[in-house]
Amino acid sequence: MLQSQCFERLFLSSLVIILVSTGSYVLAQDPTEGEEALNMQLIGYNDLQGRSAYQPIIQQQGDRWIAYIGHHVGNHENPITGRQEGNGTSIVDVTDPGNPEYLAHIPGTNIEGEVSEAQMVRTCLGSDLPDGIDTETYLLRAVGSNGHQVWNVTAPEAPTLVSSMEETGLIDTHKNWWECNTGIAYLVSGVETWATRRMTQVYDLSNPAEPQFIRNFGLPGQQPGAPEFDEMAKYDLHGPIVVDDRIYFGYGTFLDGVIQIVDRERLLRGNPAIDNPFEPTDENLEYPVITTMFTGPRLGAHTAFPVLGMDIPEFADNSEGRTRDMLLVVGESLRNECLENRQMMYMVDITDETKPWPVGNFQVPEESGNFCERGGRFGTHSSNENMTPIYYGKIVFLAYFNGGIRAVDIRDPWSPQEIGYYIPAINERTTQRCINVDGAERCKRAIQTNNLEVDDRGYVYAVDRANTGLHIVELTGSARDIAEF
Domain at 373, CATH number = 2.130.10.10
Domain, as residue range, for 280: 2-482
DSSP 403: T
In order of 42, 43, 207, 423, the CA distances from 5 in angstroms are: 11, 10, 47, 19
Domains held by the chain: number: 1
User: What integer pLDDT is reported at residue 116 of this predicted model?
Assistant: 87
Helix (H) or strand (E) holding 423: strand 417-423
User: What integer pLDDT is reported at residue 442 of this predicted model?
Assistant: 97
Q: Give 365: exposed, middle or buried? Use CB within 10 Å, 0-12, 13-18, 19+.
A: exposed
SS3 for 369?
coil
Contact 257, 299 (CB under 8 A): yes
Rg (CA), the chain: 22
Classify the C-alpha dihedral 98-418-335-383 as positive or negative.
Answer: positive
Residue by residue, DSSP assigns 81-98 as TTEEEES-EEEEE-SSTT
User: What integer pLDDT is reported at residue 256 of this predicted model?
Assistant: 92
User: What integer pLDDT is reported at residue 2 of this predicted model?
Assistant: 42
d(CA 317, CA 321) in angstroms, rounded, equals: 10
Sequential pLDDT tens for the chain (485 residues): 444 444 444 443 444 334 333 333 344 578 888 999 999 999 999 999 999 999 999 999 999 999 999 999 999 999 999 999 999 999 999 999 999 999 999 999 765 556 789 999 999 999 999 999 999 999 999 998 889 999 999 999 999 999 999 776 789 999 999 999 999 999 999 999 999 999 999 999 999 999 999 999 999 999 999 999 999 999 999 999 999 999 999 999 999 999 999 999 999 999 999 999 999 999 999 999 999 999 988 999 999 999 999 999 999 999 999 999 999 999 999 999 999 999 999 999 999 999 999 999 999 999 999 999 999 999 999 999 999 999 999 999 999 999 999 999 999 999 999 999 999 999 999 999 999 999 999 999 999 999 999 999 999 999 999 999 999 999 999 999 999 99
Contact 207, 227 (CB under 8 A): no
